[in-house]
Structure 1
Amino acid sequence: MTTARPTSAEAAPAVSERLRQTPWPAAVWAAVAAGLLALQLGALFEFGGSIAVDTVRAFNGIEALPGRVGVETLLGFEQAAAEFPRLLSRETIPNHGYYSGESEEWVVGPVYYDGQEWVGTFLGLQPAVAWALRVVVVYAYAFAGVAWLWTGYNWYRRDYRVADWTPTDDVVDRLRSHYWGLFGLLVVLLFLTTVLFGPALATTTNQVDNVDPYSYEINYWDAEAESVETTTVGSANSQSSSTGSTNVGPMSYDDYGRFHPFGTLPGGQDLFTFIMYGARLSLIIGLITVGLTTGIAVTLAMVSAYYKGRVDLALVLLSDSIMALPGLLVIIMLSVLLGGTWLANIYSGGLLLSLIFVATGWPGLWRAIRGPTLQTVEREWVDAARGFGLRPSTIMRKHVLPYVMGYLLVYGSMSLGGVIIGIAGLSYLGLGVNPPTPEWGRAIGAGQPYIGTPSWHISIVPGVLITTVVIGFNALGDGIRDAIDPQSDTDAADTGGVERGGGA
């Protein structure tokens, strides 16, 4: 039974008053937050510093700007943050080392073990075991953060929220019973964990393995010389390529004692590291694209719905003109025409891709929310707001926008997957992100000639990941759509109280 909403200030004290009356849940939640943050504070500072350095470097390369900004201070901050201890890093749980040439023997019951002793790995474990341990710790940390957020939400509902019930409660309850949407949420959480903790999950760094491999050295055990030798990463990569005739497949070691969870690329780079770093760029481009597209489409939808007439007609003609063009050909044409401009220098061409997707994608969202916006503008409360003399911008922001937010949530979750697959498709054609920046579509293109050989993993692994991520975002969009749909209550009643679990 739902408790009636309080109707007086005495029965419904403010949140601040409730915090004073019941401080312990908030204190425990804040203490857990501080502990989780302290474990990764160095990584947070390093990530912020790297974003700042990349931004300054990108804009320093724009000839249209009159001046140049120094990056020495930012580099110093980033390096200092990199030395700050954190739980989730290759330095805390290192997975790269070399075989010492010695073996360790022991017997556990009837099982005899003759293992290799490794130097440089965590507790002397094999690189594969050390890497797997770090992956488990990373995902345990990520899901502890999710549990912390969910617990905080429930405690807020129980102890601090003024209202006993809000429409959001029904949305959350419906989403919790929507199994297809929960599957999508799980995939999205795994993808976001990959984006946030990709450098910690990777077996090495993109700088060492892909950008400048000949400037870094590794030690390895030379079986013929029976001694520990030194070589550059670039030389080791050239001898660890996957080209069909030679192959380093998934979950295997190369001749230099380096473990490759997904195998290697044709150039010998670690495919898992390539994918981890490529995921971050894909999400950044996707978020920029969805954010800009949403902002443009929502603004134009509210303007056309409020003023109607010629304004709406002009936007209809403009959107129809853009949608009548062959989308893929337009995107390819703009990528080629603008590929040599200063825009292509920002984030390895990521900003250019975002702007192209926005320019060709906003009419679809505008069309989707134009109808609901027109219906909302005709409501009584909008007429009342006009009568009170409120400005059009205030009316649209406060009295129209909240009623189309549900459409935007569904669009955002489903469009991110589409943007990711679009980026991969352009990179596959050689028109996407500038090399050597990692991108999933470039890995698929590099492995295409070897699909029928033992090096099938180069294309198949990133292809499967792209498909899974896109399905996950679409499933989450389906779940959000069904959760915010009031008809879900009717459907549940018609089926005897059994709520929907599918995504249809």
Structure 2
Amino acid sequence: MSQTQYTQELPLRKRIQENPRPALVWGGVFALLLLVEFGALIGMALATLEFFVQVVGGILNGIVDLTGLIASAESAIDSARTAAGQIPTLLSRDVVPNQGHRTAAGGWEGTFLGLSPGVSWSIRFVLVYAYLFFFVYWLWKGYDVFVRHYRYADWTPRDDVVERLRDHRWGQFGFVVVLLFIGLAMFAPTLAPITYQDDTIRPYGASFEYYDEGSGEVLETNHGTANLASASSGGSNPENTVSIGEYDDYGRFHPLGTLPTPGGDLFTSLAYGARVSLFVGLLAIGISGFIAVFLGLLTAYYKGLADLTAVVVSDSIQAIPAILLLILMSVVFSDHWIADFYNGGLLIALVFGFLYWPGIWRAIRGPAMQVSEQEWVDAARSYGQRSTVTMRKHMLPYVVGYLLVYASMTIGGIIITTSALSYLGIGINPPTPEWGQIVANGRSYVTTASWHIALIPGVLIVLVVTAFNALGDGIRDAIDPQSDTGGEAASEAAATGGGG
């Protein structure tokens, strides 16, 4: 691999000016990738902003009455999101529509190029994931461009980490499945064969046309009525269920079949349920990871009383039964604004963030203690460098790798625990979809023609949790050159599960 050599130290901007072509080519393609999805990206950014406005506003509202200001901010954000929704995007339902109706001649009207809804949806599905994988590949290509053309050193320890990760098939499997899961959550509005609003939120508020074979005419109904008539009701008669890859009597294609009453689309519920799981997992791991790193660096640097206090507090928190705490918090905050987010999803994420930081802190405490004893840390102290600077520059980079390992394994435990709580009826509340909740709704249909209701989300839960553990195992083996890559280590990681 050829690499540009630099004989003197130059800022990155100067290095790019001396050899602009690789950066321009990469930047041009990257800008194009963002441009074709600009409307969707702006919508996601505004949705995130709205979430923070609601959270911060809810906290401050208990101190100062900001109801009017918060309402104005939310209204402005909603207007901006509506405007962003008008921006054409490549991966949208309007570009490749899949909802249409049959014609008397046997064709389809309203679908992409007159194709059947199943084929139209499949094209959109493939386009979404092709875009996602190429986007990730191009990010990797950007790192490769930097290494080849703009990096000073011929070699860094990171090169060995990347090389070990290239050969770690078990970790690569985990990465691919996790990427599929994240794509399902991010592109849920595009991937869903039926919009979430029509399928779950306001099924009786939107109508659509369908071809009635009995009368030979195109009639009109709403999704709520069609859902009731298309519910998978179990039993031994396959005619009483809409199963995998089938159409209902209203010409709507269901890639994974339908649910019990009110008979919503299973794939739509799984896609938006992935959003809930990802939200809970990322927020919980973000909170617990931040606390763990902060205390890990603090206790490793100062030791003594600081370390003893953290040990006592972490032991006390780990002694609290998680389910009892969740039940208690659900009752205490039942009428609070926190319980309204994702119908309990935010509350669960906050509780998990509080419960999981002791485990992560203990996992990174050892490496933090180890690096705090290194000569460069003692040298920084002797030269009078501030403690915060020493922790940030000389200790944090060493700890981050271990944080990624344990965070990726813990997030799988958070997802499966959230599903288990929803299965028991104390997790995410309807109508917000959640995978464990879907399994609970379909458990009485396992031995019937509607077996898909519980089996598919159950398999997805196992697959995603295993993938997060596999990814964590791959990162661990890549960071630690003494660990085994793949093989027995991979088998052990799969068997032990993670974080829960």
If the length of structure 1 is used for normalisation, what is the TM-score? 0.90
The one-letter amino acid of 2:241's match is: N
User: Does structure 2 conserve the Cα–Cα contact (< 8 Å) formed by 1:179 and 1:502?
Assistant: no
Q: Of the candidates 160, 172, 180, which is equivalent to residue 182 of structure 1?
A: 172
Q: What is the deviation of 1:53?
A: 4.2
CA pair 321-53 structure 1, distance change in 2 beyond 3 A:
closer
**Who is 2:382 aligned against?**
387
**What are the equivalent positions in structure 2 for 1:465-476 lying under 5 Å apart?**
465-476=460-471
**Corresponding position of 2:95:** 92
In the TM superposition, residue 60 of structure 1 has moved relative to its aligned partner by 6.8
Distance 1:60 1:164 in 2: 50
Closer/same/farther in 2, CA of residues 476 and 310 from structure 1, 3 Å limit: same
Mapped partners of 2:164, 2:50: distance in 1 = 43
The letter for the 2-side match of 1:244 is G
Match of 2:37 among 33, 37, 40: 40
Distance 2:211 2:231 in 1: 19
- Letter of the aligned partner of 1:23 in structure 2? P
Question: Residue 321 of structure 1 aligns with which residue?
Answer: 316
Paired position in structure 2 for 1:485: 480
2:498 counterpart residue number? none
Cα RMSD (Å): 2.3
Q: Which residue of 1 aligns with 2:407?
A: 412
Aligned to 1:462, which of 443, 457, 460?
457
8 Å contact from structure 1 (residues 277, 438) kept in 2:
yes
Which protein is bigger by CA-based radius of gyration? 1
Larger deviation: 457-466 or 58-67? 58-67
Residue 151 of structure 2 aligns with an amino acid whose one-letter code is R
Deviation at residue 374 of structure 1 after TM alignment: 1.6
What is aligned with 1:154? 144
Deviation at 1:311, TM superposition (A): 2.3
What is the identity percentage for the equivalent residue pairs of Structure 1 and Structure 2?
Answer: 50
Deviation at 1:212, TM superposition (A): 0.7
Check whether the contact 1:59–1:346 (CA below 8 A) recurs between aligned residues: no
Aligned to 2:232: 242
| 1:191 partner letter | F
Corresponding residue SS for 2:314? helix
Gap change, CA 1:143 and 1:271, over 3 Å in 2? same
The 8 Å contact of residues 107 and 114 in structure 2, kept in 1 or not, is answered as yes
Gapped regions of structure 1 (runs ≥ 5): 103-115, 493-498
Q: CA deviation at 1:199?
A: 1.0
Q: In terms of mean alpha carbon deviation, does 208-217 or 35-44 score higher?
A: 35-44
Deviates more, 1:165-174 or 1:344-353: 344-353
The separation in 2 between residues aligned to 1:58 and 1:263, in whole angstroms, is: 36
1:255 aligns to 2:263 (yes or no): no
May I ask how many residue pairs the two structures share in their alignment? Answer: 480
Alignment pair present for 1:17 and 2:14:
yes
Shift of 1:296: 0.6
User: Counterpart of 2:243 in 1: which secondary structure?
Assistant: coil
Tell me, yes or no, if the aligned pair for 1:203 and 1:272 is still in contact at 8 Å: yes
Deviating more after overlay: 48-57 vs 370-379: 48-57
Of residues 346, 349, 361 in structure 1, which corresponds to 2:344? 349
User: 1:501 Cα deviation (Å)?
Assistant: 9.1
Between stretches 44-53 and 192-201, larger displacement belongs to 44-53
Letter in 1 for 2:26: W
Which amino acid is 1:66 matched to? D
Tell me, in whole angstroms, the C-alpha distance in 2 between the residues paired with 1:376 and 1:53. Answer: 40
CA drift of 1:430 comes to 1.9
Quickly say closer, same or farther: Cα 1:2–1:50, change in 2 above 3 A: closer
Structure 2 unpaired stretches of 5+: 493-500
Going from structure 1 to structure 2, the CA distance change for 1:237 and 1:60 (only over 3 Å counts) comes to farther
User: What do the CA deviations read for 1:64-116 (whole angstroms, capped 9, x no partner)?
Assistant: 361222233222221221121111011100001011121xxxxxxxxxxxxx2
What is the distance in 1 between the residues matched to 2:51 and 2:291? 26
